[in-house]
Structure 1
Amino acid sequence: MISADPERVIAIARFWLGTPYHDQASLRGVGCDCLGLARGVWREVVGPEPFPIPPYSRDWGETGPREVLVEGARRMMIEVSPADAGPGALVLFRMKPRAIAKHVGILTEPGTFLHAYERLGVIEEPLTNAWRRRIAFAFLFPQR
Structure 2
Amino acid sequence: MTDGEKIAAAAMPWLGTPHVNQARVKGIGVDCGMLLIGALEDAGLVEKGAIEIAPYSNEWHLHHSEEWFLSYVKKYCVPITEADMAIGDFLMYQFGRCVSHGGIYIGNNQIIHAVIDQGVILSDLNDVMFLDVHGKSRLRGIYRFKGVK
Shift of 1:8: 1.6
1:43-74: CA deviations, max 9, x gaps? 1231224342111122243442x211111111
CA shift in 2, pair 1:94/1:62, >3 Å:
farther
Q: How many residues align?
A: 138
Alignment-derived partner of residue 119 in structure 1: 117
Whole-angstrom CA distance in 1 between matches of 2:72 and 2:121 = 24
Cα deviations by residue, 1:90-109 (Å, 9 ceiling, x for unpaired): 1110024xx11011111112
Matches for 1:20-99 after TM superposition, within 5 Å: 20-45=18-43, 46-48=45-47, 49-59=49-59, 60-64=61-65, 66-96=66-96, 99=97
Q: How much has 1:28 moved relative to structure 2?
A: 1.0
Which range moves more in the overlay, 125-134 or 11-20?
125-134
Give a deviation string over 1:71-127, Cα, whole Å, max 9, x none: 11111122213453232111110024xx11011111112411110011111111111
Alpha-carbon contact 2:90-2:105 (below 8 Å) kept: yes
Q: CA separation of 1:52/1:26 partners in 2, compared to 1, >3 Å: closer, same or farther?
A: same
The DSSP-based 3-state class of the residue aligned with 1:102 is strand
Structure 1, unpaired ranges of 5+: none
**RMSD of Structure 2 on Structure 1 (CA):** 2.1
> Aligned with 1:52: secondary structure?
coil
- Pick one of 123, 138, 141 that aligns with 1:134: 138
How far the C-alpha of 1:13 sits from its partner, in A, is 0.7
Structure 2: gaps spanning 5 or more residues: 132-136
Percent of paired sites with the same residue: 26
